[in-house]
Chains A and B, each alone.
Chain A
């Protein structure tokens, strides 16, 4: 924050009824809409969550549920460098360390990017510039926020590469991305993201492009580094298994909205939304009988231009007719409290959901 006060940049004054939150990161009613020829794509439509330092939030959902759009929104990457009429429309509030980012000066937000909040992307091969050496790309990230000479920055890059487990870092620092293996590239990407000790680290499907043996190593690495640096981590994934043991909190997204949120073990072991059940059923487990088949969630993700009326999940939900009067097709369910910190957006009563989970779903998993 020293940088900001020095430059005197105006950072979002709290609006009348929205005081600065006490949480490290708080997202309030975040909406990210993209105008297209076919209509307004509501990629994220009213998302709320908060996160404390040192904690991990897992955001889970299928493709197009708004996970990545949310993370890019926090970093302010929907508007950076975008011109013309096709800009994303973003509203709501994003509070990081007591500052509101959406109403802040873009220059101030840019100075936070890479320093206070950093991101690890899905496919490290396409996310690294093919023409610059790994070292060059890491030092660039370091020098943009720290007034140091090239030698110091290079030392820092070598140190970071060493920290993320790249052998012979003083030599590999001059290698190009194409000379690295997939796992090493992701390690380098992590080194780049962490070079400025960011307090918020967003990992957007960090293991999707990697092979299975490397996935666990990368997850371990992120976990170790989180402990060491005490950062808040948002782990975005479509794979519940990835976040099950890492996340403190889980947020399940469907059609741009949160359908279930709560402490990880609650959401994992006592899920209260049919979509979460579907995600759990479609996840392979080592302790499952060989003859059992995975149960996919029927149907395909909804159109974000025309969401189904009522509950967005109703066309795919096997229990859509459990609540009376077709309410699932008429009214959108709001998030309601299930238990301490555990919320779910479903028209079924808590009793009905608990019964279905314990009697019908859980035994099959």
Chain B
């Protein structure tokens, strides 16, 4: 088990490093290949050649790519000094550089956006896991009944309706028409739990509905498959109650594929639920990424990409560990 854990951890670290190098290369070399000067991007158009040279030196843009990459990596745990002669700017750890657009440290932006995305993802995934898996299990057990058909039709609707559509309707009804919830314009860690809850409850439900629909269908299919297994028949032959057969024998096996998908979904969601955040104007990572891309704000894009990659890697690590807990055969591999 320990060996398995160490192997998985090493794999995660390697993966994050590779993603780092790849994104770094893409984001800092692409403009160059496209004939754009990063120093110009940073400085803006109406700047003199001398200032641009100064920025180039300060950001270390003339150094070889690997040196730049190393400086960038080192900056994350240790902080970094950008220097041009006597003009020194200290960027405290964790340093992801400065936004080209606002000139604020990228970390400040991430620090604001991460809790929003985290809260959105956490709340939504609890809702959709509980709702989706429960619906799927009941549908599988009552297959062919009215309940099954109704649930699966609703699920089909849930999968087909885009978030911006259900989101707009939800906002129209519950915020503007009924006035049950109030959505704040911005969210910060200083705001009260009530503000957070009111702002996030609709996004949670809308996002959860979409995913719950998928999970309900997945759970139903997996459960039907598992219920046909020989060991389920064995469990019944022992005289176990149907409840124990379902919970301890069927559901445990059915959890494996659900977990796989869940790990990926959660990781992707942590990288920013772009559509949901845009629809509800939530200042999370997704919205930040959209802004950064439209203004070619390379350091912010890099920062958000890193967060997303890390989230996916960690989510997958957790899923892998849970596999080992659930399935004894994995512990060998």
Residues of A within 8 A of B (CB-CB), count? 33
B236 touches A80 (CB 8 A): yes
- CB-CB under 8 A from A144, the residues of chain B are 238-240, 244
* A114 in the interface (beta carbon within 8 A): yes
B231 touches A77 (CB 8 A): no
Complexed CA–CA distance, A130 and B249 (Å): 10
Q: Which of A81-89, A224-232, A283-291 contacts B (4 or more CB under 8 A)?
A: A81-89
A129 touches B142 (CB 8 A): no
- CB-CB under 8 A from A72, the residues of chain B are 233
* B247 in the interface (beta carbon within 8 A): no
* B68 in the interface (beta carbon within 8 A): no
Interface string of B232-257 (1 = CB under 8 A from A): 11111111111011100100110000
A145 touches B239 (CB 8 A): yes
Interface residues of B in 119-150 (CB under 8 A from A): 141-145
B234 touches A129 (CB 8 A): yes
Q: Which of B233, B244, B326, B327 has the most CB of A within 10 A?
A: B233
B253 touches A131 (CB 8 A): yes
- CB-CB under 8 A from A192, the residues of chain B are 238
* B190 in the interface (beta carbon within 8 A): no
- CB-CB under 8 A from A111, the residues of chain B are 239
Complexed CA–CA distance, A119 and B239 (Å): 11
- CB-CB under 8 A from B145, the residues of chain A are 83-84
B239 touches A176 (CB 8 A): no
* A115 in the interface (beta carbon within 8 A): yes
* B328 in the interface (beta carbon within 8 A): yes
Complexed CA–CA distance, A114 and B237 (Å): 6
Interface residues of B in 135-168 (CB under 8 A from A): 141-145
- CB-CB under 8 A from B230, the residues of chain A are 121, 123, 126-127
A121 touches B233 (CB 8 A): yes
- CB-CB under 8 A from B236, the residues of chain A are 77, 80-81, 113
Complexed CA–CA distance, A118 and B235 (Å): 11
A178 touches B144 (CB 8 A): no
Residues of B within 8 A of A (CB-CB), count? 30
**Nearest chain A residue, comparing its CB with the CB of B328:** A176
* B108 in the interface (beta carbon within 8 A): no
A86 touches B144 (CB 8 A): yes
Nearest CB in chain A: distance from B323 CB, A: 11
Select which of A77, A85, A110, A128 is within 8 A of B241 by beta carbon. A110
Complexed CA–CA distance, A176 and B328 (Å): 7
Nearest CB in chain A: distance from B326 CB, A: 6
A129 touches B328 (CB 8 A): no
Interface string of A89-125 (1 = CB under 8 A from B): 0000000000000000000001111110011010100
Complexed CA–CA distance, A144 and B237 (Å): 12
Nearest CB in chain B: distance from A43 CB, A: 16
Interface string of A271-287 (1 = CB under 8 A from B): 00000000000000000
Interface residues of A in 129-164 (CB under 8 A from B): 129-131, 133, 140-141, 144-145
Complexed CA–CA distance, A83 and B234 (Å): 18
Given A84-B145, A113-B239, A144-B240, the answer on whether A77 and B327 have CB atoms closer than 8 Å is no
Given A84-B144, A127-B230, the answer on whether A141 and B253 have CB atoms closer than 8 Å is no
Given A121-B230, A130-B329, the answer on whether A140 and B142 have CB atoms closer than 8 Å is no
- CB-CB under 8 A from B225, the residues of chain A are none
- CB-CB under 8 A from A110, the residues of chain B are 239, 241
Select which of B227, B238, B244, B249 is within 8 A of A113 by beta carbon. B238
Given A83-B143, A130-B231, the answer on whether A178 and B237 have CB atoms closer than 8 Å is no
- 25 pairs from A and B in contact (CB 8 Å cutoff): A72-B233, A77-B236, A81-B227, A81-B236, A86-B144, A110-B239, A114-B240, A121-B237, A126-B229, A127-B230, A127-B233, A128-B231, A128-B234, A129-B231, A129-B235, A130-B327, A130-B329, A131-B253, A133-B328, A144-B238, A144-B239, A144-B244, A176-B328, A178-B328, A192-B238
Residues of A bordering B, CB below 8 Å? 72, 75, 77, 80-81, 83-86, 110-115, 118-119, 121, 123, 126-131, 133, 140-141, 144-145, 176, 178, 192
